[in-house]
Structure 1
């Protein structure tokens, strides 16, 4: 089956079905361009491209698969729709549309914006395909991002919401500052961006922004001030209150789109940097900093609820010998394999981290000594059975594990007890579990 004949749900791995990935609709009469777009979408976005070469094919696909279409890339000049009629077919179904066209005059650009396309890209430039792929990726990520629009004018809110939905965002609305704060509490953590009008009865934009900033730092929530009475003084007041950006009505749809997407991308970069500071880059597990931050919360929960707290310290046996024989790349392969196994084995509520080198720490709430030992034995057996290969050779992996579970004065004391038990396991011959004496 050729790429262009595949349905939205057709994947080599899944064979289709309800859990099949979402799709990108590509409408393009040039088979070379549609094939290149489909390949890039598959390889870089890991999504299926559903390709049509004319309006009739497109309408059939829309009837069958519109619910799975994340976005569409549309050629304006089709054999049975030479004047861009396909755009209205797609936009009417609220599918974000990117027009990929050979020419674009100002009148056509204005028409496309009025119709409701998300973006347009002119063919021919060396980077044009790259731009389309980047825009599709942005729209897909926007699907998981909530935007709160705050404005006392229903028509102004509606206009902003319609524009935001073009770019894939989902939206909440509030008619005033008080209602906005209620919505933020109701959907806490899901709203990533607020578009806030300045001139509202009661709580104005500056006051709302200051209030939001008391609870949401700039790396967690983006805020764009909006006003019909823009001035340098007003923009300065909004920015000093904590807004990330400011835009004055009337604005071009493209300008708002660029500002919104740039602010969202900046938030993503800040979150990514914060995540990297707490995550081990080799294994993807949390690092010591992450473990230290979360462990205190688990300890407080254990004390408040009267549950036991278990620490498990895992150290891979003879890891230096693995590095010496297979090189550091071979050792890294082992670490990633063990980290993957641990990530799949521990409970979602457990705290797991790579503590450094070949050592991993687990903190588990509600496990007494016997339960912690049984848990550690399962881990030990799974690690010993883990199939790891590097350079065509199998690598045998075992681990020495120390366990401690009791009402320790601190997490550090609990980990220290488990660490000492791990060293006892090493001295006892390795590939074994030892429970700290205080817990037996």
Structure 2
């Protein structure tokens, strides 16, 4: 599975955001709109002039951002940027030609970025940029600097890129924030700070979080050319010398978060069953033991379930393997949306699935799995114009034993009894 394909899966279904695209050249606007829709499944409203853009802005549509040409038939000198700024709509500028003066002016007016529309690559960059900004809303970044002015600058610059920005005035404060905010993905840290300098902070962070989990960017205004190498050797992912431009900062941060996302996707693909999207056998056994220990420490009831699609070979023989795959995917979908509280759901192989779930009482466990068992029987699959009804057998171990392996063995024994007893039933004990 390619990284782009894996990313696109998260944007399937109902459009998640809207873009106002302002461009008077129809061929370019249609191409840009098509690329944005295909890549991010977003809604794109096209305006060909400043007057049309004003109408769109007053329509009540909530636009995530605007992509606007700087030279329009009724606004030839970039006046559209003022209109969008007044509407408080974040904007990416696109233009056929650019110079330093225009760049400085647009950035001063709060434009997020500018794209010179001189090639297909420019529109591919624009497409990725829009998605990058949308995803940034859900990413936490920590800026660490003992200077209040520097912290405020970093917070403002990163905020314009839609990041959730946290700040810390010292290394010790940063460690506390990291501990209480496990979703932080990027940390920017100054070198010269009291109590704990940037090197020590990076070293402490790396004791708990690897480079594939949190990206660290070292910062310094020092003339010491060795600082960057020392930051990188001690565990930082990147380094920026102060002063840095807005564009350099945002490029480096976005580049590092994209690296983390690619690693996340590769890891997720390796842990998933390709057909159903559920976790695979290897992931289940690698992580199940840890969940067993964790739930025991938290005094939570752990339930282990083994389940099997009844007469699955008959389904394949009767309807074909493609329809058999459809049944497996539908079964996985029902498992993913089941009402019982699941810790881990996996396809172990073939038509066999395993579930680690939480339950407060025997009665609750029985009720939830009975409801799931019934929902499978009442939800047939559809393939090649055929309706395929199927049932499942479930073996449950609702009692905590000495190990996860022991619970899995008990659940598997109960699954065997369910199948030997006529299938389409639940055996627990």
- Would you say same fold, with TM above 0.5? yes
Question: Which of 154, 157, 166 is the equivalent residue of 2:160?
Answer: 166
Gap regions ≥5 residues in structure 2 = 1-12
Match of 1:49 in 2: 44
Q: Is the 8 A contact 2:340 2:368 kept in 1?
A: no
Match of 2:359 in 1: 366
Q: Is the 8 A contact 1:319 1:358 kept in 2?
A: yes
Match of 2:8 in 1: none
Deviations 1:105-164 (A, max 9, x none): 233233333333222222241233222111111111111111111122233233322322
Q: Is the 8 A contact 1:164 1:171 kept in 2?
A: yes
How do 1:13-28 and structure 2 match up within 5 A? Answer: 21-28=16-23
Q: Is the 8 A contact 2:94 2:117 kept in 1?
A: yes
> Secondary structure at 1:69's aligned position in 2?
coil
Change (3 A) 1:157 1:405: closer
User: How many angstroms apart in 2 are the aligned matches of 1:59 and 1:131?
Assistant: 26
User: How many angstroms apart in 2 are the aligned matches of 1:146 and 1:129?
Assistant: 28
> Secondary structure at 2:337's aligned position in 1?
helix
How do 1:242-261 and structure 2 match up within 5 A? Answer: 242-261=235-254
Q: Is the 8 A contact 1:97 1:166 kept in 2?
A: no
Gap regions ≥5 residues in structure 1 = 1-12, 15-19
How do 1:33-432 and structure 2 match up within 5 A? Answer: 33-62=28-57, 65=60, 68-91=62-85, 95-186=89-180, 188-300=181-293, 303-304=296-297, 308-366=301-359, 368-432=361-425
Deviations 1:284-312 (A, max 9, x none): 22223433355345534554566543222
Report the alpha carbon displacement of residue 91 of structure 1 after superposing the two structures with TM: 4.3
Report the alpha carbon displacement of residue 53 of structure 1 after superposing the two structures with TM: 2.9
Deviations 1:204-260 (A, max 9, x none): 111111122222221111110111125441111111221100011233332222211
Change (3 A) 1:280 1:324: same
User: How many angstroms apart in 1 are the aligned matches of 2:294 and 2:314?
Assistant: 41
Q: Does 1:30 align with 2:30?
A: no
> Secondary structure at 1:354's aligned position in 2?
strand
Moved more, 283-292 or 407-416: 283-292
Q: What TM-score does the superposition give when structure 1 sets the normalisation length?
A: 0.86
Change (3 A) 1:230 1:170: farther
User: How many angstroms apart in 2 are the aligned matches of 1:138 and 1:200?
Assistant: 32
Report the alpha carbon displacement of residue 404 of structure 1 after superposing the two structures with TM: 2.2
Report the alpha carbon displacement of residue 92 of structure 1 after superposing the two structures with TM: 5.7
Report the alpha carbon displacement of residue 264 of structure 1 after superposing the two structures with TM: 0.4
> Secondary structure at 2:64's aligned position in 1?
strand
Give the paired residue count. Answer: 417
Report the alpha carbon displacement of residue 370 of structure 1 after superposing the two structures with TM: 4.8
Change (3 A) 1:222 1:93: farther
Report the alpha carbon displacement of residue 419 of structure 1 after superposing the two structures with TM: 0.8
Report the alpha carbon displacement of residue 49 of structure 1 after superposing the two structures with TM: 1.6
Runs (4+) of structure 1 moved beyond 6 Å? none
Match of 2:3 in 1: none
Change (3 A) 1:259 1:303: closer
Change (3 A) 1:323 1:230: farther
> Secondary structure at 2:239's aligned position in 1?
strand
Change (3 A) 1:101 1:303: closer
> Secondary structure at 1:72's aligned position in 2?
strand
Q: Aligned-pair RMSD on alpha carbons?
A: 2.6
Deviations 1:174-195 (A, max 9, x none): 2222222233233x12321111
Match of 1:4 in 2: none
> Secondary structure at 2:379's aligned position in 1?
coil
